[in-house]
Amino acid sequence: MTIKLHHLRFSRSTRIIWLLEELGIDYDIEMHDRNPETNRSQDDLFAVHPLGKAPTVEVDGHVMVESSAIIEYLIETHGDGKLGPTTEADRAPYLEWLHFAEGTMGMPILLTLLGPRFGGLGDILGGFVGGEVTKLLDYVDAHMEGRDFVVGDSLTGADINLEYLLELSNMAGLLNERPNAKAYLDRLMATDGYKKAIEIGGPLVPTAAS
């Protein structure tokens, strides 16, 4: 069965291109553009799924959203042993880190980056969110000391899921004082799969030339 990825430009669905390229799975891709006025997805993506979210994947008779669920499902059902935990002992930390990106880390990071567009988060909310971001990025930085990958000795879906938020954090200068997290991000961005994903889907955020 053909896997079809609906990719919204400048979004987290770049991760799923990377995943599919690393797995060597045949897939189709349909590109979707953001509304230039609202920066949100448009009717063509809402026609695929009621939430109009990216990534959206059509696979095995299902239309799936949620990056973590898509990554976990594709690795388990179509990965042929690739990109998952290599030992049973790694399975629990792998799942924890896979879901940490969207479940715990995502909202504070995104609120921090989006806040200036809306005049800031205010003293109370801004203080709370800022404290969370500090705690989360310090946690990643400490965990990555002496490690090449977040779990085990090779690239997994957990690394792919984390990269997006780390790249956004780095663009905002939040990794400047976190050398382990920064070196980890640099290694991920140097992989052939990541480079291919950017070649196919474009950068994570618009650039002056975009």
Show me where the domains of the chain are located. 3-82+195-201, 88-192
126 or 75: whose pLDDT is higher?
75
* CATH architecture for the domain at 3-82+195-201: 3-Layer(aba) Sandwich (3.40)
125 pLDDT band, cuts 50/70/90, is: low
Question: pTM for the complete prediction?
Answer: 0.92
The residues pairing with 59 across neighbouring beta strands, listed in sequence order, are: 62
pLDDT score, position 88: 96
* pLDDT tens, residue by residue, 65-106: 999 999 999 999 999 999 999 999 999 999 999 999 999 998
* CATH architecture for the domain at 88-192: Up-down Bundle (1.20)
Judge whether residue 119 has pLDDT over 70: no
Q: How far apart are CA 85 and CA 139, in angstroms?
A: 21
Say if residues 9 and 31 touch (Cβ distance below 8 Å): yes
Query: What are the C-alpha distances in Å from 24 to residues 8, 29, 79, 85?
Result: 21, 14, 9, 18
In the sheet with 56-59, reading across from the earlier edge strand, the strands are 27-32, 3-8, 56-59, 62-64
Judge whether residue 121 has pLDDT over 80: no
Q: DSSP code of 24?
A: T
Strands, E assignment, 22-155: 27-32, 56-59, 62-64
pLDDT score, position 40: 85
